[in-house]
Amino acid sequence: MLRFLPGTLVLLVTLTLTWALNTKLGDVPPVASLLSPYRGIWRNAEPEQAPQQTLQLPGLQQPVRVRFDDRRVPHIFAQNEHDLYYAQGYLTARDRLWQMEFMTRVAAGRISEVVGPKALEYDRFQRRMGLPYGAENSLRVMLRNDTTRLVLEAYSQGVNAYISRLSPAEYPFEYKLLDYAPEPWQPLKSALLLKLMAWDLSGRSDDVRLSNILRKYGPAVVRDLFPDYPNRTDAIVPPGTAPDFRPVPVPPTPPAFAAALAGGSWQRQPDPELGSNNFAVAGSRSASGLPLLANDPHLQLNLPSIWYQAQLHAPGVNVYGVTIPGAPTIIIGFNEDAAWGVTNVGGDVLDWYQLRFRDASQREYWHAGRWKPVRRVVERIPVRGQPDRLDTVLYTHHGPIVYDRNETVFNKQTPIRHALRWTAHDGGNEVLAFYRLNRTHSYPEYRQALRTYASPAQNFIFADRRNDITIQPNGRFPLKWPDQGKFILDGTDARHDWQGWIPMDQNPHVRNPARGFVSSANQPSAGLDYPYYLGWDYAPSDRGHRINERLAGMQRATPDSLRQLQNDNLGVNARLMLPWMLRVLAGSLPPDSAPHPTAPGAPEQAAQRVLAAWNYRYEAPAVAASIFELWYTDLVKRLWEDDFGPATGAEMRYPSRARTNQLLLQEAATSAWIDDRTTPRRETVHDLVAASLHFAVDSLTRKFGPLGPKWAWANQKSTDINHLANLAGFGRQDIDCGGSPGSVNATGPRNGPSWRMVVALGPQVKAYGIFPGGQSGNPASAYYDDMIDTWRVGQLDELVFLRAADENHPRLQVAWRLEAPHQ
C-alpha cells in the first residue's frame, strides 16, 4: 500500500491548503474566497448603470420613482409615506449597507462578534456606558408614536428588502474581507445610531478632573483658573436678548460636597475638536432680500462618508439634505420654504455620582436616607471563535455603574464605582423632530418640531422665505443648580439628583435679532442673563467670534459670500497671541539665560521673520502656521504641565484656552503659575516663550529639514480621510488643503467639515453642498470619493432640487421605478 503514500500526502496537503485559503485565520481573511472572481471581491465590480430600470420590491404599496443625478444622489418620489421611507431604506442600504450595519455594531458593543476577542473590552465599555440601554429607551418612545413607528418600520422593511436580494457574491466588499454576513435591520438599529451620535457629541466629561483639581488646589484656584465660561460676548443667543418666558424656580444649591479622590482616568473620550458652524443672514443683509443659511458639521472624516444625500418627495413633503445612513428622514437640509442646520451644544448633560454601598456585595446603595437595591443586568457578548462572555452591569436610579470594581481594563475608565447620569439614557423622539423639520415651512412649525428632540443637544438654526431667521440651542437640559455636575456629585444626597428639566420652550433662543444674522460654533449658548445653568465649559469662541465679525460686515450677501466664510482660514488665536509672543521674545533678557536660542543666524531668527510676515491664515502652503501651532501648543504645555499634567500624579486638565491667554497676556509678570515648579530656578514667561519656539523650530527641522516650503501647513497638519475600518488603500491621505481646528474652515488632521451646505431661500430655493467622500460606499465605485477634490478646494455643488418626478434636468442620469411584484 506504500505506493498510495505520495498521492495521499499530496491530497492531504491540497486539502489543508484549501481549508486555510477558505478560513479567516486571525486577521488574515479567507484568501481564496476573497479573491475568487465567482464570489469574491471581483464581484463587487460596479458596471455602467442602465438609464432605465424597474425593480420588483415586495411590500411597496404604490409605484415609486427614483431619479439619480450625476453625484448619484437619489431623488425619491413616493405616493405615500410608507413607500417614501421604504425607498429611503432600500436605496441607502444599496449604497451603504456595510457602513450602516457596522456602525450599529459599534454603538451596541457587538464588534467582537465580527473580529474576535480583541474588541471585547471595547464592547464591554459600550454596553456598560449604557448606549444600548439608551437606544432601547428611545425606541420605546418612538414606537409609541404612530408616525415614527411607521417611518422606522417602513425604513427597516426597505433595508431588509435590499438585504434579502443579496447573494453572498453580492455582499459589500467589507463583509467578504471580514468574513461575515449582514443581518436583518430593525428600528432598534436606527435608535442605536442616534445614540452613537449622542456619545460622539455629548460623551465628554471633566467632572473627575475638576474634582481632583478642587482637592489639590482648593476652590479659589478653581474659581480663578476654571471659571464658568467667562467670555460670553459671542454667546449664541446674544447677551441682552430679552427672555420671552417666566423662568421656573431652580433647585437650591446644597452644601459643598468634597468627592473622594477618583483614581484612573476617563481615557476613551470623544474628540474635543468635534464641532460645527452654522449661520444665517436676514434678508436685510442679502442681495435677494431673503435669508441665506449655511451649516458645516465637523466630524471625523471617513470613507464611506458619514453623511448620505437624498431628496424625499411624497404628498406633504419635498425635502433635500443629508442623513446618517441608517437613520430615516433628513437631518440637515431644506425644503421649498425653509432650511435648517445643526451644531453641537457643549452643555453639561453627563454627570457622575459617587456611591456608598451597604457592603462589598454591592447589592444596595445609600440614597435619600435609605438603602436602595441595585439592579443587575447581564450582558451576553458573543465573541467570534470563542464562547459567549457574560458581563453583569449594575444600575442605580441614576444610571449604570460603568465600572464596579478595580480591574485592569483595555479602556481604563473612571470613576470606578460611580453611577453615570446622562441624557442619552433617557428616551426621546429625535426621529419625530426631524420628520417634522422636514415638513416645516414657518417659524411656529419649527418651534413645534423641536419639542420632542432630546439628545444630543444641538443648536438648531432655521430660516424661511417669510424672512424669519432664528437659532435655538435645543435638547433636554437638566434643571440644575449653578455648577451642578461641574464636579463629581454625591450619590447619597437626593438634592444632588437631576430634579427636572428646563421647559423646552425656555431653552435659549433668539429670533430675528437686530444685527441681522444668527450663528453658532459650539460656543456658550447664552449670556449671563439667561436664568438657567447649562454647563461651565464650552468650545473656544474663536470660530464663533470670526463668523460674527465677518457676518457683521456683510452686505448684499450671496450664497458665495457664505461659502467663502465657510472656507475662512483665519486663526483668531494666532491673531491674538502671535504679536505678543514675538514681543516677549524680543524683550529684554535676564543675564543668565545662555545660550540664547534666538542668537543671530539661529534658525529661530528666520522663523521669527516668517512669523512676523504672516497674515494669520492657515492656508495650505503657510509655513508660519506650522511654526505657530507648535510654538503655541508647546508654550501652553510648558505653562501648565508642571501644575496639571500627569507628573502631578492626579488626573487633571489644563485651564481653557481663553483663561490661558488671559493669564499670558495680562498676568504673566506676576503669576506664580509661570514658574516651572519641577526646576530649582525660577522661570519667566520669556524663558517659556523662547524654549517653546526652540522646540517648534527643532521639531519641524527634524521632520522636514531646514526651514523652507516643506514646512507648509498642509504637510504639518496632514489631513487624512481614512476608511472606517482603517484599511490602507481605501482612504485618501495627506490632502492638500488649508484650515485648522480653530478656523471657521475647521479642517484638522482627522476631523473637518463633513458636509458643507449653503441655502438661498426664495421663490425657487437654491442650494449648494458638498461632503468629502461620495454617495457610494463601494470602493469599486466612481462615486466612492468623487466629491473629495471639489471639497478640498472649498467649492460646492449646486444641489439638484426637483419639484416633480418627471422634471427635466441636465444632471439627471438614471431613472428607476420601484414597484411591488405582480401577483
Partner 1 sequence: MPRFWRLALLIAVLSSLAQLLLPWWVVVPVAFAVAAGWGATGGRAFLAGLLGVGLSWWLPALWLHTHGAARLADRLATLLPLGGSGWTLALVSGLVAGVVGGLAALSGAWVRQAARPRSPEGTSTL
Interface with partner 1 (CB under 8 A): 3-4, 6-8, 10-11, 13-15, 17-18, 21-22, 31-33, 35-48, 173, 727-730, 778-782, 784
Q: Give which of 101, 171, 99 is closest to 724, Cα–Cα.
A: 99
Toward partner 1, which CB reaches closer, 48 or 244? 48
Question: Of 12 and 612, which has the nearer Cβ to partner 1?
Answer: 12
How far apart are the C-alpha atoms of 700 and 706, rounded to whole Å?
A: 8
Which C-beta is closer to partner 1: that of 475 or that of 774? Answer: 774
Helices 623-644 and 572-586: angle between axes, nearest 10 degrees: 80
**Distance (Å, rounded) from C-alpha 385 to C-alpha 380?**
15
DSSP string, 614-650: --SB--TT-HHHHHHHHHHHHHHHHHHHHHHSGGGSS
Find the shortest distance in angstroms from Cβ 710 to partner 1.
Answer: 25
820 to 36, 54, 55, 83, 671: CA distances (angstroms): 34, 10, 8, 11, 75
Nearer to partner 1 among residue 11 and residue 804 (C-beta)? 11
Q: Are strands 74-77 and 308-314 parallel, antiparallel or unpaired?
A: parallel
Peptide bond into 239 cis (omega under 30): no
Distance CA 622, CA 628 (A): 10
Kindly tell me which of 5 and 242 has the beta carbon lying closer to partner 1.
5
Q: Which is nearer to partner 1, 33 or 354 (CB)?
A: 33
Check: CB of residue 302 under 8 Å from CB of residue 724. Answer: yes
Q: In what order do the strands lie in the sheet with 732-735?
A: 302-303, 719-723, 732-735
Torsion of CA 746, 747, 751, 753, to 10 degrees: 70
Count Cβ neighbours within 10 Å for each residue of 609-644 and write b for 16 or more, e otherwise.
ebbeebebbbbbebbbbbbbbbbbebbbebbbbbbb
Shortest spacing between CB 700 and partner 1, in angstroms = 29
Least distance from C-beta 27 to partner 1, angstroms? 12
CA distance 718 to 125: 31
Identity of the residue, 43 or 511, whose beta carbon is nearer to partner 1 in the bound complex: 43
Closest separation in Å from C-beta 640 to partner 1? 41
Owner of C-alpha cell 433595508: 159
Q: How far is the CB of 695 from partner 1 (least distance, A)?
A: 35
Nearest to 815 by CA among 313, 165, 75: 75
Q: Is 89 helix (H, G, I), strand (E, B) or coil?
A: helix
* Smallest separation, CB 104 to partner 1 (Å): 24
Given the complex with partner 1, which of 2 and 390 has the nearer CB atom?
2
Write down the least CB distance from residue 778 to partner 1, Å. Answer: 7
Alpha helix positions (H), 456-556: 542-552
Q: Are strands 517-520 and 275-281 parallel, antiparallel or unpaired?
A: antiparallel
Least Cβ distance, residue 46 to partner 1 (angstroms): 4
* 787, 773 contact by CB (below 8 A): yes
- Please report how close the Cβ of residue 230 comes to partner 1 at its closest, in angstroms: 49
Nearest to 180 by CA among 170, 168, 191: 168
Which residue, 21 or 820, has its beta carbon nearer to partner 1?
21
Q: How far apart are CA 260 and CA 512, in angstroms?
A: 48
Which of residues 283 and 779 has its CB atom nearest to partner 1 in the complex? 779
Considering the complex, state which of residue 400 and residue 779 has its C-beta at the smaller distance from partner 1.
Answer: 779
Question: What is the DSSP secondary-structure string of 672-704?
Answer: TTSS-TTSSS---HHHHHHHHHHHHHHHHHHHH
- Nearest approach, Cβ of 84 to partner 1 (angstroms)? 30
Contact 737, 567 (CB under 8 A): no
| Residue (536 or 784) nearer to partner 1, CB | 784
For residue 179, the minimal CB distance to partner 1 (Å) is 13
**Half-sphere exposure of 343 toward its Cβ, with a 13 Å CA cutoff?**
34
Which amino acid, residue 470?
T
Min. distance of Cβ 784 from partner 1 in angstroms? Answer: 7
CB-wise, 505 or 734, nearer to partner 1? 734
Least distance in angstroms from the C-beta of 174 to partner 1: 11
Whole-angstrom distance, CA of residue 635 vs CA of residue 625: 15
Minimum distance, C-beta of residue 40 to partner 1, in the bound complex (Å): 8
- Choose between 40 and 182: whose C-beta lies nearer to partner 1: 40
CA distance 769 to 723: 22
Q: Which residue has the cell 462589598?
A: 360
Cell 474581507 belongs to 177
List Cβ neighbours of 288 (8 Å cut-off, separation of 6 or more): 558, 760, 762
Q: Are 65 and 77 in contact (CB under 8 A)?
A: yes
Nearer to partner 1, 271 or 720 (CB): 720
Nearer Cβ to partner 1 (48/806)? 48
Task: Provide the pairing of β-strand 400-401 with 458-464.
Answer: unpaired
CB of 97 or CB of 690, closer to partner 1: 97
Q: Minimum CB separation from partner 1 for residue 15, in Å? A: 7
CB-based contacts of 458: which residues, under 8 Å, 6+ apart? 201, 342, 343, 344, 345, 473, 474, 475
Nearer to partner 1 by Cβ, of 18 and 267: the residue is 18
| Shortest CB 89 distance to partner 1, Å | 25
